[in-house]
Structure 1
């Protein structure tokens, strides 16, 4: 895991300023590379056993490489490049060799979480790429004709010649709860985020951005028989976990007691072996009875720990562990963009303990709901709206049988005839949410916020495959993952997401028609694939009964005054978007957003002073 930064041209002082701003954590090593054409810097955490073998920036022939990366298919690449299978080389070495062998097409052969930049000294050109899903980030801009990049926005803001411009559309969309479709937007109009599945080329001042992968397009053909689907899926799932267990220090996982996180942790223990040190972190019973509305299912996590002889490595937290000092530090010194959920912020309840316990890698079940263990089924209303009555009947029949399906067929058919009214219902709810945000009506109209199709798009899927694509097109899904990665870096830990493994997701997409026909939902198929490894209680419920929701409310209540105090110091550049009366009554969740967005305005003013 690394924080990388740099720019075309040579300026040691500017590079040092960028590197200093990215050092909000404790890297194991930091290095720079300078020549008359390029300035590159890396802050690196040793998060794989091989990371100590190759320092960054890495010089290889005419190339200089910096990367925030974990390559998951090292063995496959070694065979393709005639290398020893157990070669003592860091993952950045494979990136350099892949680029030398395949050029721009190297991204089609590299699997894992990665963002990297390669400077070609011979061609005086730059090549950069971001992984398929977008777990790692790479931001970029142009300053006085120089291409400038960093793995975090704060790195670019630190460049002495950068003059930031606020992105008003991004700001008001975020406040209104409207998720922009564009994958490259940031709070700053002149800083872009390289989208997932894209690469970038710079040469002679010209920047070209190209897509190399899109989920749902050119899905690899399935080569096994239908009766082998579960075993093939299980094999891919085990491999997705196995390749994310590479760590020079301790391993851990969020284990909520739900299906996704518990199964990932259980598979990790199947690979590691019973009794292998493995830390489990979960939210337990709330201390305050007001928030104790979901009961306590830590017994499920305890069952898991007992099964694998790791009870001594269980860590249970509740609202008492949610320190405002840690949260404020994350909001003001780590976040550059607002979060779409509070979940990454609340990991501050256990990440300090994880760091103290020597955990270097944290596994998460996040992403399963989007594809690999998706809950969606039926799609009755959309089938009716699309007048696909044969599919509608098949889906109803599979779920309810013939007699109970007949009245339902009539209901959905009648409702579907007026699909416009259903769309209006969704739009009405979106309108209400935007109006409750406190934004002035002219601001809502200026930026046409009510026309944003995100909410309607997510509800318009007509089958499983369609649902998967829409879920991954929704930026919030990826943003939570890379925000987890950013927050955990602050504590010298790397988050890893096996259920967002590209090959696992592509296989799930390829067999979606079969899953829908035989099982109804991907969730039922997933449960069959992992049933031998998880506690019975997980199999019965599938979902954690103690999500982070009550602790989010407890966090709001406990820190209400601190949150409001920070929110009341809003810059006039932000308050002008609001009706003054409504601004005093904003929700706690919106206040957290405003704190981060307000920080963006403050950073611009600080640069101007």
Structure 2
């Protein structure tokens, strides 16, 4: 962007200077040229207009409230709340959605009535007393890149991924990277080290890697893989912190002065906060991680029957066993789910789901229409990137990072990288039982071989169960006793207790019930409002 504008040094230019220069150069079209995470409000005094925008993914928030006399805009929800003459009312439909584990409203609403979010990839203009919102970007609608050989796709991915990581290494002090030992975070760490070791990104004062280890929680343990990454990055200082005490609810609600302006959407922030705090203590003000890799590359393609339709006929026989094993279904059931079920018109499927009470329908207009992608894998990625639950998860990550005092950057959510991956053939996403095939092949020599050849996934559900069923059981009972949500008529108290007792009587397999997690998050937030009230 700095090169296209001219006159700006990308090493010293601030984000505000880049946004202003881009607006002067391209006007309202500046948002189509900005790369990275942003949310801004810009007052054009000469034209007496307010121009606001939010990045395509929605990593940075922008809240607003419109009354008859004024428009209040801020990147901090607290600032908009402070502008109200009296306490804002609760947005009850959003809380109901949270207890049902629905997040469509999170794209453009908040938990307060009258306070809205500017949706991701949108810009807002106030001019002549008229307020208008418009979408400026939809992933995958640009010209598709068509290359002749798979090797060319691999080379292009490597080029884009190095650029995505490199452009996020700006900062003062050492750069921190959260390394779980999984494929995505390891790719970010290995690439950052490669860029520094080759001198491709000057001015970085060092790398620090942060990993958690779980000696008493085998399913979550990835220490050996994280150690392999540390060996692959000899110029980086690696820190390993024990995480077994970071069980569910061990750090929850407003514990430790945590800002609970909005409800959380999980009970397991303790692990991330532990790593963020250590990084901040070590002088890191910028952190990178591999979040977003599952969304853009496809984390579980073999679990989704629809993606069998992406397999070429010549590879169908060899790929079929991987779909059968992952989905744990019969061949007949797999074929029905892959070809017959999608043949049912979408409106009919929605009606059937509502009738069977399986999945509540998405409200029209809350999400962009899916472009005509060439593959089911691309459609799935687009859906994952634009669904409200991902937006809510990113919002929670930002709150945690801001609370600690670090800026969290996500290379996998680079707009250029996303648009490219939405056009690649599905065989480059998954092949012969391997997921994220293009990442594994493109980063040979950067990723440790132990990680590149890794197939086992880590599961952290045991930490959540440990908190709910044992260490924080009394806290759950306290929240279930005289619940404020039941007082408000948003939920039945008897239903809550039934859900809790059924959970305790069953085996702790998989994740805890989403309805229980949603209730705990919403109830804790409502009670925090009582404490804050004068």
TM-score bracket for the superposition, by shorter chain length: 0.7 to 0.9
**Structure 1 unaligned blocks of 5 or more:** 1-76, 433-448
Q: After the TM superposition, which residues 145-164 of structure 1 pair with which residues of structure 2 at under 5 Å, given as runs? A: 145-161=69-85, 164=88
Q: Distance in 2 between matches of 1:560 and 1:183?
A: 32
TM-score by length of 1: 0.71
Match of 2:293 in 1: 368
The 5 Å alignment of 1:305-324 reads 305-309=230-234, 313-320=238-245
Which residue of structure 2 aligns with residue 44 of structure 1? none
- Residue in 1 that maps onto 2:508: none
1:11-160 aligned within 5 A: 77-85=1-9, 88-160=12-84
* Aligned twin of 2:260: 335
Aligned position for 2:503: none
- Tell me how far 1:96 sits from its aligned partner: 0.6
Q: Which residues in structure 2 correspond to 1:235-254 (within 5 Å)?
A: 235-254=159-178
Q: In the superposition, relative to structure 1, how do residues 564 and 215 fare at CA in structure 2: closer, same or farther (>3 Å)?
A: farther
Q: 174-183 vs 297-306, which deviates more?
A: 174-183
> Among 276, 288, 294, which residue is 2:219 paired with?
294
The two structures have a TM-score, normalised by structure 2, of: 0.81
Change over 3 Å in CA distance of 1:543–1:257 after alignment to 2: farther
Q: Indicate the residue corresponding to 1:8 in structure 2.
A: none
Give the structure 2 partner of residue 552 of structure 1: 464
Paired residues of 2:265 and 2:396 also in contact (CA < 8 A): no
Cα distance in 2 for partners of 1:479, 1:473 equals 11
CA apart distance, 1:118: 0.4
Q: Aligned pair 1:473/2:347, yes or no?
A: no
Q: Secondary structure at the match of 1:510?
A: coil
Hey, what's the Cα distance between the residues in 1 that align with 2:482 and 2:434? 48
1:284 equivalent among 213, 216, 219 = 213
Q: Is 1:397 the equivalent of 2:322?
A: no
1:38 aligned partner: none
Q: Deviations over 1:122-150 (max 9, x none)?
A: 22221100001111010111144210122
> Aligned pair 1:190/2:103, yes or no?
no
Q: What corresponds to 1:512 in structure 2?
A: 425
| Aligned residue in 1 for 2:475 | 562
Match for residue 207 of structure 1 among 118, 128, 131 = 131
- Distance in 2 between residues matched to 1:97 and 1:527, nearest whole Å: 38
Against the structure 1 CA distance between its residues 324 and 377, is the aligned structure 2 distance closer, same or farther, given a 3 Å change threshold?
closer
Distance across 2 between alignment mates of 1:417 and 1:596:
39
1:352 and 2:277 are equivalent in the alignment: yes
- The one of 101, 104, 113 equivalent to 1:177 is 101
Residue in structure 1 matched with residue 409 of structure 2 by the alignment:
496
Q: Is the 8 Å Cα contact of residues 279 and 314 (structure 1) preserved in structure 2?
A: yes
The CA distance in 1 between the partners of 2:159 and 2:341, in whole Å, is 45
Q: SS where residue 301 of structure 2 aligns?
A: coil
Spell out, residue by residue over 1:2-39, the C-alpha distance to the aligned partner (whole angstroms, 9 max, x if none).
xxxxxxxxxxxxxxxxxxxxxxxxxxxxxxxxxxxxxx
Instruction: Quote how far apart the aligned CAs of 1:506 are.
Output: 0.8
2:496: which partner in 1? Answer: 583
SS in 2 for 1:256: coil
Unaligned runs of 5+ in 2: 199-203, 501-511
Moved more, 341-350 or 196-205: 341-350
Aligned residues: 500
Q: Is the 8 A contact 1:332 1:596 kept in 2?
A: no
How far did 1:80 drift? Answer: 2.0
Residue pair 2:53, 2:124 contacting (<8 A) in 1 also: yes
Q: Deviations over 1:466-498 (max 9, x none)?
A: 212221221212321232122111011111111
1:538 alignment partner, one of 451, 457, 464: 451
SS class of match (2:453): helix
| Cα drift, residue 223 of structure 1 | 6.8
* Alpha-carbon offset, residue 182 of structure 1: 6.7
Query: Cα distance, 1:355 vs. partner?
Result: 1.7
CA contact (8 A) 2:280 2:404 kept: yes
The structure-2 alpha-carbon separation of the partners of 1:175 and 1:107, relative to structure 1 and needing over 3 Å to count, comes to: same
Displacement of 1:366 after TM fit? 0.8
Query: What is the aligned partner in structure 1 of residue 509 from structure 2?
Result: none
Query: What is the Cα deviation at residue 397 of structure 1?
Result: 3.1
Higher relative CO (Cα under 8 Å, sequence separation at least 6) belongs to 2
Deviations 1:316-336 (A, max 9, x none): 221325696853436974233
| 1:499 CA displacement | 0.8
CA distance in 1, matches of 2:420, 2:491: 46
Q: How big is the shift at 1:568?
A: 3.7
Cα displacement string for residues 274-305 of structure 1 (whole angstroms, at most 9, x for unaligned residues): 99743322231244xxxx34274312211221
Q: More deviation in 106-115 or 536-545?
A: 536-545
Cα offsets for 1:234-264 (capped at 9, x unmatched): 1111111111111102222221111111111
After superposition, give the CA deviation of every residue in 1:157-206 in whole Å (9 maximum; x if it has no partner). 12242552322221111101123267202212311111111100012432
Q: CA RMSD in A?
A: 4.0
Tell me, yes or no, if the aligned pair for 1:279 and 1:315 is still in contact at 8 Å: no
SS in 1 for 2:293: coil
Is the 8 Å Cα contact of residues 129 and 199 (structure 1) preserved in structure 2? yes
Paired residue secondary structure (2:522):
helix
Residues 323 and 349 in structure 1, CA contact (< 8 A), matched pair in contact too: no
Q: What residue in structure 2 maps to residue 46 of structure 1? A: none
Q: Distance in 2 between matches of 1:149 and 1:575?
A: 30
